Amino acid sequence: MQKDQFAREALAQIPKILTLLDRNPHSPTYGCFDRNFWHYKIIDFPSGMAQEFVLPLALAYSTHLPDNPFYRQPMLKQWVEAGILYAAKSSHPDGSCDDYFPYERAGGAAAFSLLAGIESYLRLGLHHPKMLEFFTLRADWLAHHQESGRLTNHQALIVLCLELLSRLLKTDRWEKAKVQRLEQVLSWQDEEGWFQEYEGCDPGYHTLTISCLARLYKLNPDPRLEASLVKAVRLADCFVHPDGSFGGEYTSRNTYNFFPHGFELVGRWLPEALAINDRVLTGIANGKAPCYADDHIIGHHTWNYLLAWQDFVADRPPVPHRKNEQIWLKNARVLIDRRDGTELYLALNKGGVFKLFRNGKLVLSDTHFSLQVREGGKIKNAVGHLVSDYTVEVNPDEILIRGQLGWAKQKQMTPLNLMILRVVMLTVGRFFPNLIRSLLQKILIVGKADAPFQFSRQLRWQTDRWHITDELKADSWKNVISAGIGCDQTSIYVVMSRTYQVGQLQEWLDLTEQVNALGLGDVLRVDRSG
């Protein structure tokens, strides 16, 4: 059956999740999923996000999936209980937890792991006062905590946690907080349908927000939620590529994320939502799914895929044929053009980063110019894919983007940097974790520092295909030691980005020889078509 692809993808991750778990009942870290902490001992605190992995195990235990060797295995239930108890044991006295540095008090890690704990508790029919005390403590903290940065998916997760726990405990303790957070989520939805994620629209995290809001709507049907979901689902449909892949480097957070569960729930009353999953399932069957099997992010998609299998709608309308159209999301600054067998996905806010498909296949994936530049004894990276307010002209058959390259964010941790961060967090920083988080976001994620290179990117529709002309100007070329255009370059730090996806097998376009031949005042020009 078509839906079994979700189950197969998810079940394949369970052995690795079990490998990440300390399964020794006599170990002081029994139930910890952070193998770097309990086994390798190369970090000095456990990531609270890792305790989210109880939910994939609980679902594998309780769901009668095809070829599921974990169904009703008693040890899985014991390990889930151990994981929830370790989440409680390793949290701070106020119920918060850390993710990347001590005393971080990370809202996302707290919300993901709380949702996993509550869901697992309900799934397995547990009765454990200590777990309920922990859930309440963490919910209290989340209800009053506001993290830096606009991450709508985190806020939607918090609302869902508070709703589920309120029902479990039969309390209205968090009613005011639920209303306020939901208002915040709805206010962060653009009129085009997308939810704010840092600097704009990220379709991947958008699908996670849909998943949470669809659950909330199922529990509490509300006309405002319904209207929000309709806009959000129709926006998400725009970003399913013709080969069944989804999102990528032209989005605000560079992710290939796709969370299918919400589309099955919404599809029960808005059947057009089901076509989104059907298109993506075709992509999964053809090897277009990205790989998220690393130690930190393996859990998110695993549990969401299992829930999508569980709530899969059997009676589905046929997948509609895509019509020729140009969709210009002016607020998101993303343009999608479908005509004569081609589909173009273009980020106008990222200098013209794009993916181009012809006859259902990826023919060009482009993350813009990238230069290695020797400056002051250091080698820096000037790139064209950073978010900025570029000059843009959009016409039916011609698109022009102009602007400057920016310096890539390449900050790495060193022993000294880590020592300073530890000292800060163990002293004054522990009282101001949001300030530290905000500073790190500015260093690693948001903002653009201009580099001394000016580009123009022109896309023209001629003779049934797109012709791309790139030009790059510089005050001097003498310090440029390497140049090219890659298919998957990104420069900001995003947890779920830089995963492998088959489209990344496209070769690097090396422009170094052309740059070496340029003299003062010369312009680098690159012509292509697809």
> Model confidence over 14-35: pLDDT tens digits?
999 999 999 999 999 999 999 9
Do 374 and 480 share a domain, yes or no? yes
Helices 107-124 and 298-310, axial angle in degrees (round to 10): 40
d(CA 477, CA 471): 14
- Looking at residue 376, what is its pLDDT? 85
Evaluate if residue 374 carries a pLDDT over 90.
yes
Over 70: is that where the pLDDT of 445 sits? Answer: no
Taking the C-alpha atoms of residue 385 and residue 348, their distance in angstroms, rounded to an integer, is 10
Q: What's the pLDDT at 453? A: 97
Say whether pLDDT at 264 is over 80.
yes
Q: Does any domain span residue 240?
A: yes
Structural domain includes residue 469:
yes
pLDDT tens per residue across span 407-418: 998 777 788 777
- 187, 278: one domain: yes
Mean pLDDT across 140-144: 97
**Does 284 fall in a domain?**
yes
Mean pLDDT score, 394-418: 88
Mean pLDDT on 136-163: 94
What pLDDT, on the 0 to 100 scale, is given for residue 488? 95
Residue 492 lies in a domain: yes
**For 329-371, how does the pLDDT look when each residue is reduced to its tens digit (9 = 90+)?**
999 999 999 999 999 999 999 999 999 999 999 999 999 999 9
Q: Domain for residue 504, yes or no? A: yes
**Which of 382, 403, 517, 499 shows the shortest CA–CA distance to 457?**
403
Confidence grade of residue 437 (pLDDT, cut at 50, 70, 90): low
For residues 267-276, give the mean pLDDT.
98
Residues 336 and 481 in one domain: yes
pLDDT score, position 11? 97
Structure tokens at 249: 């480097």
Cβ neighbour number for residue 107 with a 10 Å cutoff? 26
pLDDT at 426: 75
Backbone angles phi, psi at 521, to 5 degrees: 85, -10
What global pTM score does this model have? 0.95
Q: How far apart are CA 1 and CA 120, in angstroms?
A: 27
What DSSP letter does each residue of 328-369 carry, written as one string?
Answer: EETTTTEEEEEETTEEEEEEGGGTTEEEEEETTEEEEEE--E
Average pLDDT in the 159-174 region?
A: 98
**Within this chain, do residues 221 and 155 fall inside the same structural domain, yes or no?**
yes
Measure the CA–CA gap between 327 and 288, rounded to whole angstroms. 24
What sign does the CA torsion over 60, 313, 230, 321 have? positive
Whole-number Å distance between alpha carbons of 525 and 456 = 10
CATH of the domain at 86: 1.50.10.20
| 162-193: burial string, b at 16+ Cβ within 10 Å, e else | bbbbbeeeeeeebeebbeebbebbbebbeebb
Residue in 513, 516, 411 with CA at minimum distance from that of residue 474: 516
Of 269, 284, 310, the residue that ends a domain is 310
Residue 317: its pLDDT value, please? 96
Q: Let me know whether 187 and 234 are in one domain.
A: yes
Question: Is the domain of 277 the same as that of 399?
Answer: no
Question: Based on the structure, what is the number of domains in the chain?
Answer: 2
Distance of CA 167 to the CA centre of its chain: 29
What's the pLDDT score for residue 352? Answer: 98
Q: What is the mean pLDDT of residues 235-248?
A: 97
Mean pLDDT (the chain) is: 94
Q: In terms of residue numbers, what domain contains 8?
A: 4-310
Maximum C-alpha span of the chain: 75
Q: CA 493, 495, 501 angle in degrees (round to 5)?
A: 100
- Classify residue 425: in a domain, yes or no: no
What would the DSSP string read from start to end of 74-91? HHHHHHHHHHHHHHHHHS
Q: Enter the DSSP assignment of 438.
A: H
Residue 211's SS3 state is helix
Residue 16 and residue 86 in one domain: yes
Residues with Cβ < 8 Å from 117, sequence gap 6 or more? 51, 54, 84, 87, 131, 134, 135
Return the pLDDT at 444. 61
Tell me the per-residue pLDDT of 449-493, one tens digit each, with 9 for 90 and over: 899 999 999 999 999 999 999 999 998 999 999 999 999 999 877
* Whether pLDDT at 54 is above 90: yes
Does 429 map to a domain? Answer: no
Decide which of 280, 310, 340 is a domain's last residue.
310
Residues 110 and 85 in one domain: yes
Residues 60 and 180 in one domain: yes
Average pLDDT over residues 512-523: 94
pLDDT the model gives residue 1: 80
Do residue 100 and residue 190 come from a single domain?
yes
Task: Report yes or no on 153 lying in a domain.
Answer: yes
Please tell me whether residues 279 and 367 are part of one structural domain. no
Is 377 buried (19+), middle (13-18) or exposed (0-12) by CB count in 10 A? exposed
Among 310, 339, 364, the domain-final residue is: 310
**Residue that has been written with the tokens 């200590």 in this structure:** 130
What does the block give as tokens for 256?
């290939």
Domain shared by 160 and 258, yes or no: yes
C-alpha span between 110 and 202 (Å, rounded): 22
DSSP run (H or E) holding 482: strand 480-485
CB atoms within 10 A of CB 251: 29
Residue 296 has pLDDT above 90, yes or no: no
pLDDT greater than 80 at residue 440 = no
